[in-house]
Amino acid sequence: MKKVIAAFDNGHYSEGMMQFASELNKKEPILLVGAFLPQVDYASLWSYAAANIAEGVYIPLIEPQTAEAIQETISRFESYCNKNQIRFAVHKEYFDFALPELKKETIYADLLLISSDLFYSQAGVDLNDYLKEILHHTDCPVLVIPEKFEFPANNILTCDGKEASIYAIKQFAYLFPELAGQPTTLVYANPDPGREISGHSSIMELVSCHYPKLNEVHLDVNSKKLFNTWVSEIKSPIVVAGAFKRGDISMIFKKSFMTDTIASHRLPVFIAHK
């Protein structure tokens, strides 16, 4: 059994996130923890995260949180879990400190689910940078879920040969061994397509142990063919990626993966970091 947090922000209820949780529960029972964040000024959260301000600094709400709105979302969450036989818990003690409190929650969880449609709708900042900051403030892998999707039937493992991408590939296999058995493509971002990526043989030894239906694709970072163009040809994919450090992002993922894939809300994305 895995402990999975479903983060609901700003009083929004995500059907897509709940549907994904239900599908996970069918494959292996989970404990689904509903984390109900208040309506917050996401620009303030961005400033808080970027400045790394100590906990306890007041971040103002856009408007007062109403018990009725929170309870309606909680009721829908509880009703869905009961109907779909999902073991669940409810956490709503956040008040003004949504980001640091959510970080605390992720220390004690295996996975965080967030809605790509709702969670980022009010970010007010560059999606790529905001996503990186959220990832730096969580202590478990994150699964970004669109509202409309097909449950994954193919895995796309993005790899640049660096530690972050390898770590994400391992974490996905450990958390979802039932999905690791699906057809899987290891996609390399290689700045020099004429040379083998660093550690290629060791990477293949590791990945083939966890992903039996494995093939690999090398993409030239100088190619005009964007990652989304290629991935659109894959049936019901889920993308697996590491949380890249500032200034250390492979160019092929900076534009076509991190920004386009998530911002277009088209497929689930699994992201992990140490």
Cβ atoms 146, 117 nearer than 8 A: yes
Q: How far apart are CA 158 and CA 271, in angstroms?
A: 10
SS (H, E, C) 6-34: EEECCCCCCHHHHHHHHHHHHHCCEEEEE
Q: Could you say which residues of the chain have pLDDT below 50? A: 40-63, 65, 96, 122-125, 128, 224, 246-252, 255-256
Phi then psi for residue 169, to 5 deg, are -60, -40
DSSP 178-231: HHHTS-EEEEEEES-TTSPPTTHHHHHHHHHHH-SSEEEEEEETT-SS-HHHHH
3-state secondary structure of 92: coil
Fold of 154-272: Rossmann fold (3.40.50)
3-state secondary structure of 146: coil
Residue 27: per-residue pLDDT: 93
Give the strand order in the sheet containing 154-159.
Answer: 87-91, 30-36, 2-8, 111-115, 142-145, 269-272, 237-242, 154-159, 184-190, 214-220
Residue 250: per-residue pLDDT: 44
Residue 62: per-residue pLDDT: 40
Residue 262: per-residue pLDDT: 65
How many C-beta atoms surround the C-beta of residue 53 within 10 A? 12
Residue 43: per-residue pLDDT: 44
Q: Domain residue spans in the chain?
A: 2-145, 154-272
Please give the radius of gyration of the chain, using alpha carbons only, rounded to the nearest integer.
19
Residue 203: per-residue pLDDT: 93
Model pTM score: 0.82
Does 2-145 match 154-272 in CATH topology? yes
Residue 12: per-residue pLDDT: 80
CATH, domain range 2-145? 3.40.50.620
Residue 121: per-residue pLDDT: 55
Measured at the CA of 212, the angle between CA 206 and CA 218, to 5 degrees, comes to 65
Cβ atoms 9, 119 nearer than 8 A: yes
Residue 59: per-residue pLDDT: 40
Residue 230: per-residue pLDDT: 78
Residue 138: per-residue pLDDT: 84
**DSSP H or E segment with residue 126:** none
Phi then psi for residue 165, to 5 deg, are -70, -35
Residue 44: per-residue pLDDT: 47
How many C-beta atoms surround the C-beta of residue 222 within 10 A? 10
